[in-house]
Amino acid sequence: MNRSGAKCLSASQVPKSKGLVLHDWHAEVLALRAFNHWLLSECRGFLAQGRSLRSSSEDDTSNEKKEKEKEKEKEKEKEKEKEAYSPYIRRRRQDPDDSTITLPPFELNPDVKIYMYCTCAPCGDASMELCMAAQEDPTPWEVPTTPDGGDGELLDGRAHFSRLGIVRRKPSRADAETTRSKSCSDKLALRQVSSLLSFESSLLVATTENAYLEGVVMPEEEISRVGCERCFGEDGRMRELKGRFWSPGGKKGVEERGYGWRFRPFRVLSVPTGLVEELWAFGKSDPMGASASRRTKPAVISAVWAAASSVLVPSVVDNGAKSLPKLAGSRTGLYETIINGVKQGNRASEPLARGASALSRARLWGLSKEIVQSCVDDHDQETGTEIGVEERQSVELDVTKRIADASTYREFKKEPTVLTESLEARRSAIREARRVLSGWIPNLGDENWGLEVLIDPKKRKRCPN
């Protein structure tokens, strides 16, 4: 049972999750995790397509060898042109003269831009002005103090709304257990430095400029320009990071090669109220102006949908369904119904692999490990790469595989024994961003488990009567 009333786990429940329960299932967080799941699936499909093309080429060469002996060299050239294709990702361009870094192996195509649509303002700092405007009594609340006289370490999502520019936890009922899940405003603000790529995705996809959100789109009535500028803008609470770069090649690496981390504020774009009402007739209504029949209550259910990989290769859909619907013409790659952080029909209090969302820590780690192994296998079979690049790739692939093969999640992500140069830069960028977002308290307790949690205990066989 969710005791926070906030679509997130209370601090006491986190240690019981074993990587199988989502800590936070607010819409913005699910969208971020679903994007990374889709991106990993795209990488997996890309690799599978490449293997299929190479296998087909080898068969063709074998069948026609006697008839086209004289054209052997020409055929080899054609084979090199047979590469996997995705409209969204591509193999990372390697420079033999650049010895700084050769991995991750993929990058987003340069023409890709990513936007997020939110039906309402993200909880936390970006929505504080809206919260104040909705109060009958806007008098500032008294701020609680700790025994040493300091302010409380992490304020509730909507409480003490007069305090601005601070990190907040998810809004919840007044009688709810404490949660350390940060607000959506704070998590989106952090992504302006860490990019949209999760740790798992960063093993495989390089952080280019278009790996950051281009813009967040909201109904015009849900936007406080003052709040958004303070929360996300380059002159707001994160202004100290303006002009900073984190990359194995430093500022030069970011500017010349386009890889690395930086503070990149996104644009806040609006949709006219009339268009919102036309497109979403049954959307969330104004609680003050709505009739009794139209008033809504927060739902306990979250729905997740993600498109299938654009690379058409046979694959097993994560939900195991045989027949999958299409949404606006797009094939389905993932759809789930989430209640209390697990798939509907399962209990978060007794988490099992069958109830774990594809977006859970354990599932995403398992998926990334599978893809890293595919990259290693492909590298072992490839020939013709420049010697210097091939040697660097072998070393960095070995490090990447050691990361993915960690025995526990703590060793995998929280306290890895080895890191690639790019992941070291990523860690430094996130550390600085959290320092600037003062009050960021880690949501610890769900790290001491390994991928064996994805194996459900065998059902006991019934004894014959």
Question: Domain spans of the chain?
Answer: 14-49+104-454
Q: Are 238 and 189 within 8 A, CB to CB? A: yes
Query: What percent of the chain has pLDDT above 90?
Result: 57
Query: What percent of the chain has pLDDT above 70?
Result: 74
d(CA 426, CA 424): 5
- Return the pLDDT at 58: 57
Greatest CA separation for the chain: 88
Alpha helices by DSSP H, listed for 172-221, are 184-194, 199-202
Alpha-carbon distances of 364 from 8, 36, 443, 451, rounded to whole Å = 19, 9, 18, 10
Most confident of 107-116, 282-291, 375-384: 107-116
Q: How confident is the model at residue 361 (pLDDT cuts 50, 70, 90)?
A: very high
d(CA 303, CA 221): 24
Mean pLDDT, the chain, as a whole number?
83
- Return the pLDDT at 381: 73
Is pLDDT at 372 greater than 50 in this prediction? yes
User: For residue range 144-177, what is the model confidence (pLDDT) as tens digits?
Assistant: 665 444 455 556 666 677 789 999 999 877 667 8
pTM reported for the whole predicted model: 0.87
- Return the pLDDT at 150: 47
User: For residue range 271-304, what is the model confidence (pLDDT) as tens digits?
Assistant: 999 999 998 887 776 655 555 555 667 778 899 9
Q: Using alpha carbons only, give the angle 97, 100, 106 rounded to the nearest 5 degrees.
A: 90
Q: How confident is the model at residue 387 (pLDDT cuts 50, 70, 90)?
A: very low
Alpha-carbon distances of 242 from 140, 236, 440, rounded to whole Å = 31, 10, 19
Q: How confident is the model at residue 463 (pLDDT cuts 50, 70, 90)?
A: low
Range in 39-43, 179-183, 217-221, 323-327 the model is least confident about: 323-327
Q: Which among 184, 179, 140 is positioned nearest to 162, based on CA atoms? A: 140
- Return the pLDDT at 5: 47
User: For residue range 221-234, what is the model confidence (pLDDT) as tens digits?
Assistant: 999 999 999 999 99
Q: Which among 240, 241, 261, 263 is positioned nearest to 249, based on CA atoms? A: 261
Most confident of 96-100, 117-121, 137-141, 256-260: 117-121
Written as six digits, the tokens of 219 are: 């109904």
d(CA 105, CA 434): 28
- Return the pLDDT at 75: 55
Q: Are 358 and 318 within 8 A, CB to CB? A: yes
- Return the pLDDT at 258: 78
Mean pLDDT in residue range 68-77: 54
First to last CA, the chain: 36
Token pair 């990149």: residue: 264
- Return the pLDDT at 84: 80
DSSP tag of 278: H
Is pLDDT at 411 greater than 80 in this prediction? yes
- The whole-angstrom distance between residue 452's C-alpha and the CA centroid of its chain comes to 23
User: For residue range 5-27, what is the model confidence (pLDDT) as tens digits?
Assistant: 468 999 999 999 999 999 999 99
- The upper half-sphere exposure of residue 309, i.e. CA atoms within 13 Å in the direction of its Cβ, equals 24
Q: Are 418 and 402 within 8 A, CB to CB? A: yes
